[in-house]
Homo-oligomer: A and B are copies of this chain.
């Protein structure tokens, strides 16, 4: 009785309603050009309902040569902590417009021929478009087969090979983080950055190129607030707990130690927490911390809970899917070969790790 359960086809409905298959098709697809009497409509509708008819999208796809399928290629889904969010965001956007998601994992460690096969399995399925979510934004093997099917990159650092991409405005992250700290009254703010792309085969998502951009945004954000370079000491390390610990130690051992810390991600913030504890600094009383990425599970479970400046990956994926579908439907004037789409900005998730600096008489804002 449930939709699609039996081999009930359009002609069964037609027979039951006493009309032709054309009429059924027209009614069910709400074809505007076809003028059908209301009572016939109703008859068809109820017959379809009675029989539990559901359209066979395979047949429809064969006929129209549109599958309404979006291929989603996820690099290293097993280790990408945002894989679930990406699927969620893309799926919601897709289903809202009648599409579905065909998902394949692709392993960066696999050879080029294997990776090519990953994408070709989607092409064999005749997906209408492809969403490609790289593990590290900024790098992209880009199988040549992309050429044939409209493709949009999810969270890649800008347009690659002429393929459009949806990426966050990376500088907005440091800006928001620095702003949060400045607002709390801090004037000496340190930055713990990711130590370059070389060390980035670890567990984190947005390293590599993104690391550079985040780091780049930091002095800019400070300068914009009227501070000179000395106000913002920077240390970098591996984008994990150890790296964060070492960098934080360097920063906090200084004579003019910062009272606020911006960390590249929450793993590095974990290290900063430990460094602070080792040195006898309480967070947030003696030291405030903000991280530039939110692994959810981690930030919320640190003690005190970590304030972050996050970019919901689901949002990114949903936007990419939207752009892709616009292109497929020719809806947008936006040509796919146009420049990179403006990505969403980071937003602050205030938790418990920011307070006024210890020597501040009066805080300068809310936090």
Which residue of B85, B147, B295, B298 is within 8 Å of A77 (Cβ)? B85
Evaluate contact between A77 and B84: CB separation under 8 angstroms.
Answer: yes
Count of identical protomers in the assembly: 2
How distant is the Cα of A272 from the Cα of B172 in the complex, in angstroms?
A: 36
Within 8 A of B (CB), among A41-59: 54-59
User: Residue of B at shortest CB range from A143?
Assistant: B2
Does A302 sit within 8 A of B, measured CB to CB?
yes
Across-interface contacts of A245 in B (CB, < 8 A): 303
- Contacts A58-B125, A88-B105; is A314 near B78 (CB within 8 Å)? yes
Which residue of B74, B89, B91 is within 8 Å of A84 (Cβ)? B74
Evaluate contact between B148 and A5: CB separation under 8 angstroms.
Answer: yes
Does A102 sit within 8 A of B, measured CB to CB?
yes
Minimal beta-carbon separation of A127 from chain B (angstroms) = 10
Does A83 sit within 8 A of B, measured CB to CB?
yes
How distant is the Cα of A3 from the Cα of B95 in the complex, in angstroms?
A: 27
A: interface residue count bin: 35 or more
Minimal beta-carbon separation of A202 from chain B (angstroms) = 9
Minimal beta-carbon separation of A142 from chain B (angstroms) = 13
Across-interface contacts of A87 in B (CB, < 8 A): 74, 77, 83, 87, 103, 105
Does A215 sit within 8 A of B, measured CB to CB?
no
Minimal beta-carbon separation of A365 from chain B (angstroms) = 28
Evaluate contact between A78 and B83: CB separation under 8 angstroms.
Answer: no
Q: Mark A235-265, 1 if CB is under 8 A from B, else 0.
A: 0000011000100000000000000000000
Find the residue from A122, A126, A245 having the highest chain B CB count within 10 A: A126
Does A104 sit within 8 A of B, measured CB to CB?
yes
Evaluate contact between B3 and A123: CB separation under 8 angstroms.
Answer: yes
Q: Mark A1-45, 1 if CB is under 8 A from B, else 0.
A: 011111000000000000000000000000000000000000000
User: Residue of B at shortest CB range from A103?
Assistant: B103
Does A101 sit within 8 A of B, measured CB to CB?
yes
How distant is the Cα of A92 from the Cα of B103 in the complex, in angstroms?
A: 11
Evaluate contact between B95 and A121: CB separation under 8 angstroms.
Answer: yes
Evaluate contact between B123 and A4: CB separation under 8 angstroms.
Answer: yes
Evaluate contact between A100 and B85: CB separation under 8 angstroms.
Answer: no
Which residue of B5, B58, B203 is within 8 Å of A297 (Cβ)? B203
Does A285 sit within 8 A of B, measured CB to CB?
no
- Contacts A4-B148, A56-B126, A58-B58; is A102 near B105 (CB within 8 Å)? no
How distant is the Cα of A72 from the Cα of B271 in the complex, in angstroms?
A: 37
How distant is the Cα of A125 from the Cα of B58 in the complex, in angstroms?
A: 7
User: Residue of B at shortest CB range from A203?
Assistant: B297
Does A201 sit within 8 A of B, measured CB to CB?
no
The 9 closest A-B pairs by CB, nearest first: A83-B84, A4-B123, A241-B301, A5-B148, A78-B88, A77-B84, A2-B145, A103-B103, A77-B88
19 CB-based A-B contacts, threshold 8 Å: A4-B148, A5-B145, A54-B120, A57-B124, A57-B125, A57-B126, A58-B61, A79-B296, A80-B84, A81-B297, A87-B103, A95-B121, A100-B121, A100-B122, A100-B125, A240-B301, A271-B303, A295-B297, A297-B298
Given contacts A91-B103, A241-B302, A245-B303, 5 further A-B contacts (CB under 8 A): A77-B88, A87-B87, A87-B103, A267-B297, A270-B301
Give chain A's interface residues, CB within 8 Å of chain B. Answer: 2-6, 54-59, 61-62, 67, 69, 72, 74, 77-81, 83-85, 87-89, 91-92, 95, 100-105, 120-126, 144-145, 147-148, 203-204, 240-241, 245, 267, 270-271, 274, 277, 295-298, 300-303, 314
